[in-house]
Amino acid sequence: MAVEIRMPKIGLTMKEGKVVEWRKKEGDRVEKGEIVFVFETEKTTFEVEAPGAGILTKILVFPDQTVPVGTVVGEIAESAEAASIPPPTFEVPAQKKEEAPLGFRPRPSIEVRATPLARRMAKEKGLDLRAIPGTGALGRVRRRDVEAFLSNPPPAPKVEVPPSMEKGRLVKFTGMRRIIAEKMLASKVQTAQIYMSHTIDATGILEVREKLLPVFEEKAKVRLTITDLLMKITAAAIARHPVLNTRWTPEGILWLEEIHMGMAMALEEGLIVPVIWDIGKKSLLEIAQTRAKLVDLGRKGKLTPDDMKGSTFTFSSLGMYGIEDFCAIINQPESAILGAGAIIEKPVVVSKEIVIRPMMRVTLSYDHRIIDGAKAAEFMKTLKQWMENPILLLAG
């Protein structure tokens, strides 16, 4: 009896998914739990495991096709039954029927046999498994095959290019990279982005973190970060200046009641933005715990679309890379985003004397269609005051 492979529903808000690639081709043996295809939502990509063991007899939805949740995308049958099933005669999307020869069955690109460890190693090193000779059963690529390939790679094939073209290596878009590109371009084109910066004396922030760090670790086994403090202060400043928590709509400006903080997070594959829901009502400890959980899920690739949907304002930090100042791109449909740079000791003038203080630059990117310059400046003034005196905010 055939086992149906369906487009899964990840989270409560997912309605459809787009097939990115098939890891198996028709006629391949599939074990239960083995990855058979990859799909993407508007936020990220996910791998789908086989619901049962057998032969992949039908692929019904091809790469780049988008289908509703629950749609049957393929079928798996037991080996004996699979042999009696006639070949499917569906076509590649957008291909005219008369163009295909009789009996033609389109198939996704061939995926070589490989152990999960070998596949992961090849992905991390950016290797094409098809180029690695396999020494396992039926040519299966194993860990030592990947290691041998890395230690003695074959010479790169020569590619003839016209003199006017630059030579290089083409890396095809992943689903995540394409989504990021589309969203970033749309943000720059569809919003009137403008920027405003402040220089912050981070002495108070560092002092508060130093005092609370052992308390949080002992109480909840969570490490308080500078980002936790900055997001807490930013959420409070947004509550004081709610025009930062708005959205542009065709009917008018939508003023949102709750503050859901997007937290820009870099992965090897690209940028994601998990969300701390209702951050304005969370304590600093709750923010630290939620942030730690989301970061852990993100690094493991286990965030769901619900974890990355619904943000009303985004916070982005590049301080861990030593970047002092940058302008972040608004995460649509939000109206603003705050970028925080590294805390660096610098000479500054305090009471007419030159002293060394830990200084930090924060930059607000905002949609001038919604937020006027004076309103943005008022928000930044409050932000600077509370970041330089966080004890006043946290004591309240």
Domain ranges of the chain: 3-111, 118-172, 176-394
Is 64 an annotated catalytic residue? no
95 has a pLDDT exceeding 50: no
Marked catalytic residue, from 145, 198, 325, 368: 368
Identify the pLDDT of residue 158: 62
Output 247 or 139, whichever has higher pLDDT: 247
Identify the pLDDT of residue 243: 97
Fold of 3-111: OB fold (Dihydrolipoamide Acetyltransferase, E2P) (2.40.50)
**Spatial contact of 205 and 268, defined as CB atoms under 8 Å apart:** no
Identify the pLDDT of residue 33: 87
For domain 118-172, the question of CATH label 4.10.320.10 is answered with yes
pLDDT band at 93, cuts 50/70/90?
very low
What architecture is the 176-394 domain classified under in CATH?
2-Layer Sandwich (3.30)
Is 372 an annotated catalytic residue? yes
Marked catalytic residue, from 28, 64, 201, 372: 372
**How many angstroms separate the CA atoms of 116 and 35, rounded?**
10
Identify the pLDDT of residue 180: 75
Here the tokens at position 52 are 């049962």
DSSP label at 320?
A: G
**How many angstroms separate the CA atoms of 359 and 344, rounded?**
5
Q: What stretches of the chain adopt beta strand conformation (E)?
A: 3-6, 16-22, 29-30, 35-40, 45-49, 54-59, 66-68, 72-77, 193-201, 246-249, 252-255, 261-263, 265-266, 271-272, 275-276, 313-317, 336-340, 344-350, 353-367
**How many angstroms separate the CA atoms of 388 and 206, rounded?**
10
